[in-house]
Amino acid sequence: METLDPTDDQLVDRTKAGDARAFDELVVRFSPRLYGLIYNMTSSHEDTNDLLQEVFAKAYRSIRGFQGKSSFYTWMHTISVNMTINFLKKRNRRKTMSLDDVDNGILNDPDFIAATSNGDPSHSANLVELQKKLNESMMKLSHEHRAVVTMFDIQGMPHLDIAKILKISEGTVRSRLFYAHKQLQNHLQEFIKK
């Protein structure tokens, strides 16, 4: 007989009742997605690892205060964005990302091929150049704009979810995206297909 995976809410209830393994299951479920969110805002794997640990520790400590008014998914994203923005405000230096962790699948992505086909035929050389440029462009955005771009463009989240996470209106999400895209266009002009 097929056993259904428990829902997030069921795992939250079990955690509140003292079942630490239920929270472990939530950590496994949410860590890849939250890693992407934090990483694209910090551009540092070391900082992302530390922050993600702190995010889950904070969530575990305050899970009794989670009353289910929003989904657990939204709640976790809100904690992650707020903690990352606070961290970035304190961090003075701007770290550059490690290019070692780029999945090789990117070399076969049509969008990557299209973006780099005008230049050097060697994809790996262009990959480094493109990733460096993308990273630099993202880091030029304000923390708030970077959060919106990360969630919408990189993670593919809908405007409504982003609005709930950031506790702003959908209109504000759209205007931040518009402004951020304008800025990014200037920095990434050479890779944009005409």
Partner 1 sequence: MDNDNISKLLRLKRYEHPPAEYFENFLTEFQLRQRAEVIHRPFFQIAWDRLCHLLAPPNFPRLAMAGSFAVAVIATGSVLTWSDSETQAPLAQKIPQVSSKSSPSVQYVLPAEVVTYASARRSF
Q: What are the residues binding partner 1 (CB under 8 A)?
A: 13, 16-18, 24, 27-28, 31-32, 35-36, 39-40, 45, 49, 52-53, 56-57, 60, 62, 64-65, 67, 97, 101-103, 105-106, 109, 111-112, 114-115, 130-131, 134, 138, 149, 153-156, 181, 184-185, 188, 191-193
Q: How far is the CB of 131 from partner 1 (least distance, A)?
A: 7
Cα 144 to the center of its chain, rounded Å = 12
- Of 68 and 86, which has the nearer Cβ to partner 1? 68
- Of 52 and 76, which has the nearer Cβ to partner 1? 52
Instruction: Specify the 3-state DSSP secondary structure of 118.
Output: coil
Q: What burial letters (b/e) apply to 16-35, b meaning 16+ CB within 10 Å?
A: eeeeeebbebbeebbeeebb
- Of 56 and 75, which has the nearer Cβ to partner 1? 56
Instruction: Specify the 3-state DSSP secondary structure of 194.
Output: coil
Give me the half-sphere count of Cα atoms (radius 13 Å) on the Cβ side of residue 81.
Answer: 21
